[in-house]
Amino acid sequence: MMNKMIKNPILRGFNPDPCILRVEETYYIVVSSFEWLPGVRVYQSQDLAHWEHCTDIITNQVDLRGNPKNSSIWAPQLSYHDNLFYLLYTDVKSTKRPFKDAHNYLITAETIEGPWSEPVYLNSSGFDPSLFHDDDGRKWLLNALWDYRIVEGNKSSGIVMQEYDSQQQRLVGEPIKLFDCTPLKKTEAPHIYKRNGYYYLITAEGGTGTGHAVTVARSKHLLGPYEVDPQNPMLTSRENPELTLQCAGHGSLTETPDGEWYMAHLCTRPLEGEYAILGRETALQQVYWNEEGWLRLTAGGNTPQLEVPAPKGIFMDVQERSSLFEDCFDGPELKKTWNSLRILVNDSWCSLTKRPGFLRLKAGESIQSLFEHHILAIRQSDMHFRAETALEYQPNSYLQMAGLLLYLNEDNYLYAYLSHEEGQGKVLRMMRCEADSFTLASHAISLEYDLPIHLAVEVNETQGQFYYHIGDESVWEPLCESQNISFLSGGFTGNFVGIAAHDMQQFQGSYADFTHFRYQGNDDITTQN
């Protein structure tokens, strides 16, 4: 019987910058969350093939209000030592060139579910912090070093390292420049692994786009000098635009109990060769150490594979790909899959008790607010899906709105919403913002006040069609024409599907009652490069 093949990506949709770790028999992957809370999503697996969302770590440790898009929580690193989990992350406050305000923090917990300690501030010299626990008990912080003086291109100038004193909970000594960039440049995402007398430095290079790559270097001494793999890059898609998995890079390693090695890494699956609407995802490659002590793909070469062998003893033939998510709002709390934007969900704007059996969303600021945007959304994890909801809403001004939306960021979204127009009363309309260019559908559909409105959206790759029906009617009507949604790609995140309520008057305190939300994906995972 042949071992099972693991199908990539293992974490579909917006799941970038993976860091993989094994603790006893359980594997964990943590990923970046950027503006979305709760942050640092954690997935767990017993076999590397089947993954489930188990928890999210970042909650009230951060204040993300006002942070610009593509900032906030970057590249977490998870390690485990002396019966303690260590999580490092960056809170990016500004990326306006040539500078970068990126603050690095450390928190700890005895279990992955927490409770987690108060954040310890580390430094702000760069991003992608990583903690290495050496055999002698010393701990070392690594991070990418940002140099605003670099005139052209990315300003990551290499990797810097400094000792961390866990008793004093601060960095000690002086920072040491550990590694300069290779000709690929844009060096970031450092991880150190010790094996057979060598310190191996795994980094990402080439930027997070099509030039992304994994660079490996090694040294007999922690402080270097480090020798770069003569066949660098170890993993990349940069010369192969025909591959399904693009942008391969940002890798980290784990070893199975039987001595097999795997690398988790970032990737994208762009549609039409260009539009990564699902954002940056997580894939897994099986790797090994060759006779010279360098890391290699078991498949040969250096390009990411869509299928890789599962660890020894895993013989299941079918890898389940369930992407059904449903919340009927009839429980004591929201399901953990939901995310909010820059602020945490709380009873002040999101209640399951004020009208039992419904989710009451108190309207927040505008859809482009960086502060009080009252939105609940989930990751788009399929290239083909349908999402549905229904709501009751009584707006009395065009400044009040609620509905169903596709949302990449405050500059790129599609919104099917209920509002109020002078002379028409309650209406259903569509708004679109593409690359910060706003358009409003000219036609507004008049609605009855006392009936719930059902909204749906169907997405087929780069096309999205919104639908509606009123009350108990069973026939869905299209809302406007089909929309090209290729603009819901780019940046560091991926497209989200969600519900929201907005009120630019605020003092009136409007709200919408949602009856349910359902998302059903129907992708067939491609199995050939």
Q: Which is more confident, 524 or 223?
A: 223
CATH number of the domain to which 410 belongs: 2.60.120.200
E runs forming strands in 46-119: 52-58, 72-81, 84-94, 101-109
Q: 35 with 81, same domain?
A: yes
Provide the pLDDT confidence category of residue 119 given band limits of 50, 70 and 90. Answer: very high
The answer on pLDDT for 524 being more than 70 is no
Provide the pLDDT confidence category of residue 24 given band limits of 50, 70 and 90. Answer: very high
Could you read off the pLDDT of 176-223 as tens digits, one per residue?
A: 999 999 999 999 999 999 999 999 999 999 999 999 999 999 999 999
pLDDT at 306: 97
Domain C-terminal end among 309, 343, 364: 309
Q: 209 with 305, same domain?
A: yes
The answer on pLDDT for 474 being more than 70 is yes
**84 in a structural domain:** yes
Please give the average per-residue pLDDT across 82-110, as a whole number. 97
Domain C-terminal end among 277, 309, 341: 309
Provide the pLDDT confidence category of residue 140 given band limits of 50, 70 and 90. Answer: very high
Active-site residue identified among 35, 56, 91, 188: 188
CATH number of the domain to which 289 belongs: 2.115.10.20
The answer on pLDDT for 361 being more than 80 is yes
Domain C-terminal end among 278, 309, 340: 309
What range defines the domain where residue 51 resides? 5-309
The answer on pLDDT for 417 being more than 70 is yes
Q: 304 with 328, same domain?
A: no
Q: Based on the residue annotation, tell me whether 188 is a catalytic residue of this protein.
A: yes
**528 in a structural domain:** no
The answer on pLDDT for 526 being more than 50 is no
Could you read off the pLDDT of 316-325 as tens digits, one per residue?
A: 554 556 699 9
Provide the pLDDT confidence category of residue 525 given band limits of 50, 70 and 90. Answer: very low
Please give the average per-residue pLDDT across 57-70, as a whole number. 97
Share of the chain above pLDDT 90, in %: 91
Q: To the nearest whole number, what is the mean pLDDT of the chain?
A: 95
Tally the domains of the chain: 2
Tokens for 117, please give them. Answer: 């300690």
pLDDT at 200: 98
3-state secondary structure of 468: strand
pLDDT at 316: 59
Of 487, 498, 456, which is closest to residue 271 (Cα–Cα)? 487
Q: 204 with 328, same domain?
A: no
The answer on pLDDT for 529 being more than 50 is no
Distance CA 321, CA 525 (A): 8
Q: 238 with 343, same domain?
A: no
pTM of the model: 0.96
The answer on pLDDT for 312 being more than 70 is yes
Provide the pLDDT confidence category of residue 517 given band limits of 50, 70 and 90. Answer: very high
Please give the average per-residue pLDDT across 486-512, as a whole number. 93
Torsion of CA 108, 110, 111, 114, to 10 degrees: -50
Provide the pLDDT confidence category of residue 527 given band limits of 50, 70 and 90. Answer: very low
Provide the pLDDT confidence category of residue 141 given band limits of 50, 70 and 90. Answer: very high
Q: 180 with 246, same domain?
A: yes
Output helix, strand, coil percentages for the chain, rounded to the nearest 5.
0, 50, 50
Active-site residue identified among 17, 35, 128, 388: 17
Q: 279 with 159, same domain?
A: yes
Distance CA 182, CA 8 (A): 28
Please give the average per-residue pLDDT across 62-70, as a whole number. 97
The answer on pLDDT for 3 being more than 80 is no
pLDDT at 85: 98
Q: How far is CA 478 from the centre of its chain?
A: 31
Distance CA 476, CA 294 (A): 58
The answer on pLDDT for 388 being more than 90 is yes
Q: 364 with 295, same domain?
A: no
**385 in a structural domain:** yes
Q: 283 with 332, same domain?
A: no
**529 in a structural domain:** no
**148 in a structural domain:** yes
pLDDT at 322: 66
Q: 178 with 93, same domain?
A: yes
pLDDT at 318: 44
Q: 297 with 356, same domain?
A: no
pLDDT at 220: 98
**315 in a structural domain:** no
**526 in a structural domain:** no
Q: 167 with 206, same domain?
A: yes
Tokens for 220, please give them. Answer: 């007999």
Could you read off the pLDDT of 236-264 as tens digits, one per residue?
A: 999 999 999 999 999 999 999 999 999 99
Could you tell me the strand order of the sheet in which 295-297 lies?
A: 246-255, 261-268, 281-289, 295-297
Give the burial class of 510: count Cβ atoms within 10 A of its Cβ; 0-12 exposed, 13-18 middle, 19 or more buried: buried
**314 in a structural domain:** no
The answer on pLDDT for 227 being more than 50 is yes
Residue 140 carries which side chain, given as an amino acid letter? W
Tokens for 195, please give them. Answer: 């094996």
Please give the average per-residue pLDDT across 460-468, as a whole number. 98
